[in-house]
Structure 1
Amino acid sequence: MTGLLPLETNIEIGHHVERHFLGLTFNMDTIWTTLVAGAIVLVLGFWARSALTKNTTDHVPTKIQLLWETIVKEVTTQVEDNLGKVPAFVVPLAVALFFFILFANWLELLPTEINDKLHLLPAPTADTNLTYAMAIMAMVGVWIYGIREKGLGGYLKHFLEPFPVLLPLNILEELTKPITLALRLFGNIFAGGIMLALIGLIPFYASWAPNLLWKLFDMAIGGIQAFIFALLVILYFGMAGAGHGEHDEHHEDLESTPAA
């Protein structure tokens, strides 16, 4: 039993730097790392915007401008080819979400541990407070967009399709979307943080190789999870604006397309 003591004393699952105000608990490490990830995305965006402004006269795009334009254009092409038309704001929103989640996931990989209990830049996506907030905001936006496009009656009508008897299941599916969206991201990033903590218990002379390999693997997982979250947001907006018949027709087209 004594061999388990270091593991039990050095790893605290779900530990956060907390502050309390008016009966509310604030996870300060989640707040400041969220701000860091958001600041990185804003800096990149304003950098691209300033580069665009500088080149309005000579029409020579800079590298950062070409990078953003290529990403947005490629994503738009892939979305329209596979999902059909989506609102103009959805692709920029999804791209911004992707990079925000990507940087938030990768913060965990930086060596900013002060001690066993304090990590200056933990991944904020390993806290359900952030993932639930993002998922709820995304789904509320989807519902608002669907109502604006179809009207309240038209949007609610799709819960009766294809058969009215499926109304409870359709409502349950809609309500679980933000939950699954949030927990999918949280679970993968939280598990990655636990693995890094476990590897940290190994002496350095033996841990550097597994630590390096896991960090590379964790980078890939962070990128995949950011991609899945952004893709699902695009898909939900596309479904909210599409008619049921249009959705079925597009689904049949996808099924009839031969695999590459």
Structure 2
Amino acid sequence: MTQSVLVSSDIEIGHHPTFSIGSFTFNSDTVTSTVIAGIIVIALGLMLRRSASAETPGKMQLAWEALVDWVTTEVEANLGKLNPFVIPLAVTLFVFILISNWVEVVPTEHKVPPATADTNLTYALGLVVIIAVQVYAVRERGLGDYAKGFLEPYPVMAPLTILEELIKPFTLALRLFGNIFAGGIMLLIIGLLPAYLTPLPTVPWKLFGMAIGVIQAFIFALLTILYFGMAAQGHGGGHDEAPAKEHEPELQPA
């Protein structure tokens, strides 16, 4: 039954409308979704900046500060004190990916699918994160100690350690893509089935898809933070070092 529904529909797995600029070809639906998500994130940031107040913070400011404070506390309790840019980067990625995931619930007949259902975007996000992690590791530990980390715990393990670093952007990208793409296909199939086969309306299924979007955005941001924490400690993420905050001198009151 499901197969006949799919055959009679216009669903084409992996198909994207494209446009070309010179010798480069772009997926127009992915570009549109990415631009929409980017505009929403920037607009939220500008609104928050405009309404930010130390005396009378609004609901959006309180929610944002609570999120950042919670993430910062959890990260420093488990990984130690990281560079100040890590938490804002992870939170920004979470918001951007979340909005990108939620585009699929907009009733546009799949004309504007979630940008994260295209590997072109998820690969780009994964590469940006892993390149930033490697640069961060070199700056925090020095080039010599960074290169030495590939030889730990035994030099013979170096190929596997290098392979692990090379695989990370692909695992980040494909985990996000696979879950969001599958969720979009599920919503399409449910929408095409006859009413007597779907006693529940489509709204609960869309809410379920939104929940999956939240989980996947959270996992991506969490892994980003973990990769930065491991980079600061070494490729193996050694736990023999105490968190940095334990070594900070206590501030004496003036």
Tell me the TM-score normalised to structure 1 length: 0.86
| Deviations, residues 134-153 of structure 1 (Å, cap 9, x unaligned) | 00011111111111112222
SS at 2:20's partner residue? strand
Identity of aligned residues (%): 57
Give the distance between the partners of 1:176 and 1:133, measured in 2 at CA: 14
2:238 is matched with which residue?
247
CA-atom RMSD in angstroms: 2.1
The letter of the residue matching 2:164 is E
Structure 1, 212-221 or 143-152: larger mean CA deviation: 212-221
1:258 is matched with which residue?
none
Pick closer, same or farther for the CA change 1:182–1:202 going to 2, 3 Å: same
SS at 1:26's partner residue? strand
Q: Residue 19 of structure 2 contacts residue 26 of structure 2 at CA under 8 Å; is this kept in 1?
A: yes
| Deviations, residues 46-102 of structure 1 (Å, cap 9, x unaligned) | 1111112xx36xx22222211111111111001111222211111111111101101
Give the distance between the partners of 2:160 and 2:83, measured in 1 at CA: 27
Give the distance between the partners of 1:40 and 1:82, measured in 2 at CA: 32
SS at 1:20's partner residue? strand
- Out of 99, 102, 107, the position equivalent to 1:106 is 102
1:254 is matched with which residue?
none
Give the distance between the partners of 2:218 and 2:228, measured in 1 at CA: 16
* Residue 166 (structure 1) shift: 0.4
Tell me the TM-score normalised to structure 2 length: 0.88
Pick closer, same or farther for the CA change 1:169–1:17 going to 2, 3 Å: same
Structure 1, 127-136 or 101-110: larger mean CA deviation: 101-110
Q: Residue 83 of structure 1 contacts residue 250 of structure 1 at CA under 8 Å; is this kept in 2?
A: no
Aligned residues: 241
2:249 is matched with which residue?
none
What does 1:76-225 correspond to in 2, within 5 Å?
76-113=72-109, 119-204=110-195, 206-207=197-198, 209=200, 211-225=202-216
Q: Residue 138 of structure 1 contacts residue 233 of structure 1 at CA under 8 Å; is this kept in 2?
A: yes
2:6 is matched with which residue?
7
Give the distance between the partners of 1:202 and 1:3, measured in 2 at CA: 8
Greater share of helix: 1
Q: Residue 2 of structure 2 contacts residue 193 of structure 2 at CA under 8 Å; is this kept in 1?
A: no
- Out of 34, 52, 62, the position equivalent to 1:66 is 62
Q: Residue 199 of structure 1 contacts residue 210 of structure 1 at CA under 8 Å; is this kept in 2?
A: no
Structure 1, 73-82 or 210-219: larger mean CA deviation: 210-219
Does residue 18 (structure 1) correspond to residue 14 (structure 2)? The answer is no
2:248 is matched with which residue?
none
The letter of the residue matching 1:49 is R
Give the distance between the partners of 2:2 and 2:232, measured in 1 at CA: 57
What does 1:35-46 correspond to in 2, within 5 Å?
35-46=35-46
Pick closer, same or farther for the CA change 1:207–1:23 going to 2, 3 Å: farther
Q: Residue 152 of structure 2 contacts residue 236 of structure 2 at CA under 8 Å; is this kept in 1?
A: no
SS at 1:61's partner residue? coil
Does residue 75 (structure 1) correspond to residue 71 (structure 2)? The answer is yes
Structure 1, 203-212 or 170-179: larger mean CA deviation: 203-212
Give the distance between the partners of 1:221 and 1:74, measured in 2 at CA: 21
* Residue 194 (structure 1) shift: 1.0
Pick closer, same or farther for the CA change 1:30–1:153 going to 2, 3 Å: same
Q: Residue 94 of structure 2 contacts residue 221 of structure 2 at CA under 8 Å; is this kept in 1?
A: yes
| Deviations, residues 169-196 of structure 1 (Å, cap 9, x unaligned) | 0000000000000000000000011111
